[in-house]
Amino acid sequence: MLNLSKNHKNLVLTSFWGYLILSSFVSIIPAIQMQNIKPLPGQKDLTTEERDGLKTFVAEDCMACHTQQVRNIEMDKMWGNRPSIPSDYYYSKKRIDVWRQSPSFLGSERTGPDLTNIGARQPSDDWHLIHLYNPRLVVKESVMPSYKWLFMEKDSTQITADDVVLNVPPEQLKNKNSKVVATQKAINLVAFLKYLKQPELPGEAPVEFIPAKAKPTTADSGGGGSDLPDGEKLYMNTCAVCHQADGKGLPGAFPSLSDSPVVNDENFRLHAAIILMGYDSRPEYAVMQPFADQLSDAEIAAIINHERTNWGNQSKTVTAEEVKAVRDSLIK
Ligand code: HEC
Ligand code: HEC
């Protein structure tokens, strides 16, 4: 008989085995399973710069407000194409340094948007830098703190060709003759943010949202009585982060669309081409990325019509077929 009250050897042995069995279930076995996580095909390791950016991400505690976990629920569909799986965190497997383990990026607080797929959602360096310098320059109602210490003000005469200069409105500067230059820390942090893209699963996708992600239909409320999707909503979701809700843009970075000759041109071809192929024609403005893969012809037509009939613009609207003709002529 196992007499625990009198036999001390049995008492110690029982608690020892009990402890060992329990801890193998709650920590040893999961830890061994974690060692076997493989990267997904096509998933790249972090470059030196991106890893440095990761360290700044940790040092600035961006996880306090940003998660990196797409859960298998309806409200998370906007943050990724599928729910997150362990391999998604492969990049964080390496220790930060001898003293610190690989950090957990999952986060628990979503004051700001989930960043699992931010590299795909926002590929613009300029946007990220301006946003880090002062989030309210691009998102008026933002409560994200400014990270001005990742930037420095330099006298205009001392700017060199290697400097990454930010076009911020002059009233933001302490000294009228200075320019805002991004430090290597800020540049690397943006490199890390752009690295964050949800890798595609190989072959038949075994992990998918339940129920399967519904494609937006053209049956969404009509843009001006036509059968096009809601152009205002699409504009707000895709274009307003740069060109702003009122179409006025941000001087020196994102051009205004409210009085733009391109937007109001009788011929909308250039306008559609810019949305499909992206645009980088003027050095005084940042770069606009292409949207050909992201937006359908009907969606582009709806956005163009929203721009051509708002903010004082009064130009002729276009149809999805006309946009398709431009797409076919540009993209083989
Ligand atoms: C106090 C909470 C808070 C902290 C801390 C914070 N953010 Fe944010 N972040 C927000 C909020 C709120 C938004 C949404 C409004 C906006 O875009 O500014 C946001 C938006 C963003 C976006 C744009 C996301 C999108 O989907 O458009 C990026 C990128 C971002 N933050 C990066 C960072 C980085 C990098 C850090 C750390 C240096 C950080 N944030 C720290 C609250 C925070
Ligand atoms: C990442 C920021 C960004 C986003 C998002 C963005 N744009 Fe742009 N857009 C720019 C920049 C920067 C330029 C100017 C590029 C240049 O001239 O070098 C521009 C130029 C334009 C122009 C030409 C304006 C003119 O007068 O020259 C149009 C039209 C336009 N964008 C429409 C759109 C539409 C529609 C969307 C949404 C589908 C969109 N943009 C999304 C940054 C952006």
Contact 201, 40 (CB under 8 A): yes
Q: Name residue 27's amino acid.
A: S
pLDDT, position 211 = 57
* Residues composing the chain: 332
Q: Distance between CA 304 and CA 317 in Å, rounded?
A: 8
Taking alpha carbons only, the member of 242, 332, 254, 265 closest to residue 292 is 332
Residues in contact with ligand 2 by the CB-under-6-Å rule are 124, 127, 238-239, 241-243, 254-255, 257, 260, 262-263, 271, 274-275, 279-282, 285-288, 291, 303
Contact 187, 128 (CB under 8 A): no
Q: Distance between CA 239 and CA 275 in Å, rounded?
A: 10
Taking alpha carbons only, the member of 94, 44, 45, 59 closest to residue 186 is 59
pLDDT, position 221 = 42
Extract the tokens encoding 127. 């946007």
Q: Is the CB of 62 under 6 A from ligand 1?
A: yes
Q: Distance between CA 209 and CA 146 in Å, rounded?
A: 35
**Which ligand approaches the C-alpha of residue 62 most closely?**
1
Report the alpha-carbon angle 304-305-310, nearest 5: 105
Burial environment of residue 257 by CB neighbours within 10 A (0 to 12, 13 to 18, 19 or more): buried
Burial environment of residue 300 by CB neighbours within 10 A (0 to 12, 13 to 18, 19 or more): buried
Taking alpha carbons only, the member of 118, 109, 40, 43 closest to residue 80 is 118
Residue nearest to atom 10 of ligand 1 (CA): 112
Q: Distance between CA 43 and CA 196 in Å, rounded?
A: 11
Q: What tens-digit pLDDT sequence spans the chain (332 residues)?
A: 678 888 889 999 999 999 999 999 999 998 888 788 888 888 888 999 999 999 999 999 999 999 999 999 888 988 988 899 888 888 888 888 888 877 778 898 999 999 999 998 898 999 999 999 999 999 989 999 999 999 999 998 898 989 999 888 878 888 888 899 999 999 999 999 999 999 888 876 566 666 544 444 444 444 444 688 999 999 998 999 899 999 999 887 899 998 899 999 888 999 999 999 999 988 888 889 999 988 999 999 999 999 999 998 888 899 999 999 999 998 87
Q: Is the CB of 194 under 6 A from ligand 1?
A: no
Residue 77 phi, psi (nearest 5)? -60, -30
Taking alpha carbons only, the member of 79, 68, 152 closest to residue 104 is 68
Residue nearest to atom 41 of ligand 1 (CA): 62
Residue nearest to atom 2 of ligand 1 (CA): 65
Q: Distance between CA 138 and CA 135 in Å, rounded?
A: 6
Q: Distance between CA 234 and CA 239 in Å, rounded?
A: 8
Looking up tokens 């608690």 gives: 15
The residue whose CB lies within 8 Å of the most ligand 1 atoms, and thus the one to mutate among 144, 183, 198, is 144
Extract the tokens encoding 231. 């152009």
Kindly give, in sequence order, each residue whose CB lies less than 8 Å from that of residue 147, ignoring residues fewer than 6 positions away. Answer: 60, 132, 133, 186
pLDDT, position 67 = 95
pLDDT, position 293 = 87
Q: Ligand 1 atom closest to Cα of 147?
A: 38
User: Phi/psi class of residue 223: alpha, beta or left (left: φ > 0; alpha: ψ in -120 to 50)?
Assistant: beta
The residue whose CB lies within 8 Å of the most ligand 1 atoms, and thus the one to mutate among 55, 66, 139, 195, is 66
Peptide bond into 39 cis (omega under 30): no
Residue nearest to atom 7 of ligand 1 (CA): 144
Q: Is the dihedral of CA 275, 276, 282, 284 positive or negative?
A: positive
Q: Distance between CA 84 and CA 70 in Å, rounded?
A: 5
Q: Ligand 2 atom closest to Cα of 260?
A: 26
